[in-house]
Amino acid sequence: MAKKKIRTWSEAELIDTFALTKTKFDSPLLKEWLETTTTLDEFENKVFSNILAEVRVNIEAWNEEDLKMNFIAFVISLANLKTTDRVRTYYEKTIEAEVSGYYLKIKCDFMVAKGILDMVKVPYFHFQEYKRDKDPYGDPMAQLIEAFLIAWERNKNGKPLYGCYVVGRFWYFVTFEDKKYCASQAFDSTDKKDLLQIIAILRKFKEILETRLLD
């Protein structure tokens, strides 16, 4: 039984301790997820134009909470990631598990999971957000991997996990399966084409969730 001692992990430490493999960003699982398109209706286009203008003007000034409330929340809404009768969305939710003799515990900024009220049962998607590339309080990639390890241990279904981390204007999408993970190149949310692609990728996850991940 692992002692419940919480530590801060780096990406390299997680790779070394849990025998993980980081693959190139052209892995089939990630490639399939990223190669998608979407369109917006009239109302969605208005929201899209507004948040694009906001992020272009304010990205350098916003703190982490500003970024979440003024931008990320609207992106998630445009992607239609919301609570349904089959899954729930969670914000600032802590998950934990013993993995290979180590106690892991992490707070996810946003998560899509099967659950009952505030109890997470089967996590499918994890999201971590930081304002700056070099943050003194943590590494968003390492925290995302830690969340994947916890979910993989808890789910025990062999199905891949999906996630995203945001550093300022840049969004990175990550897949995890059988101790292998792969991260995309950066998508610049202040670029109109990239922002539409971010929404398309998140919508594609919803399709993957409904057709492949849910039992």
Nearest 5°: the CA angle 64, 149, 207 is: 75
The mean pLDDT value for 55-65 works out to 93
pLDDT at 50: 98
In terms of phi and psi (left: phi > 0; alpha: psi -120 to 50; beta: otherwise), the region of 62 is: beta
Amino acid identity of 23? T
pLDDT at 161: 98
pLDDT at 133: 45
- How confident is residue 64, by pLDDT bands cut at 50, 70 and 90? confident
Phi then psi for residue 139, to 5 deg, are -115, 115
pLDDT at 134: 44
Residue 110 has pLDDT above 90, yes or no: yes
DSSP E strand boundaries for 117-202? 119-130, 161-167, 170-177, 180-183, 187-188
Amino acid identity of 95? I
pLDDT at 138: 61
pLDDT tens, 163-196? 999 998 999 999 999 999 999 999 999 999 999 9
Residue 1 has pLDDT above 70, yes or no: no
Phi then psi for residue 106, to 5 deg, are -145, 145
pLDDT at 2: 54
Q: And the tokens for 158? A: 């062999």
Distance of alpha carbon 173 from alpha carbon 32, whole angstroms? 12
Radius of gyration over every alpha carbon of the chain, rounded to an integer in angstroms: 17
Buried b or exposed e, range 136-169, using 16+ CB within 10 angstroms: eeebbbbbbbbbbbbbbebbeeeebbbbbbbbbb
Residue 144 has pLDDT above 50, yes or no: yes
User: Which of 24-28, 93-97, 128-132, 175-179 shows the lowest mean pLDDT across its residues?
Assistant: 128-132
pLDDT at 197: 99
pLDDT tens, 2-21? 557 778 899 999 999 999 99
Pairing of strands 170-177, 161-167: antiparallel
Q: And the tokens for 44? A: 């969605």
pLDDT tens, 65-102? 899 999 999 999 999 999 898 999 999 999 999 999 99
Q: And the tokens for 187? A: 């998508």
User: Residue 215 to residues 13, 117, 142: CA-CA distances in angstroms?
Assistant: 33, 19, 29
Q: And the tokens for 124? A: 């499918």
pLDDT at 5: 73
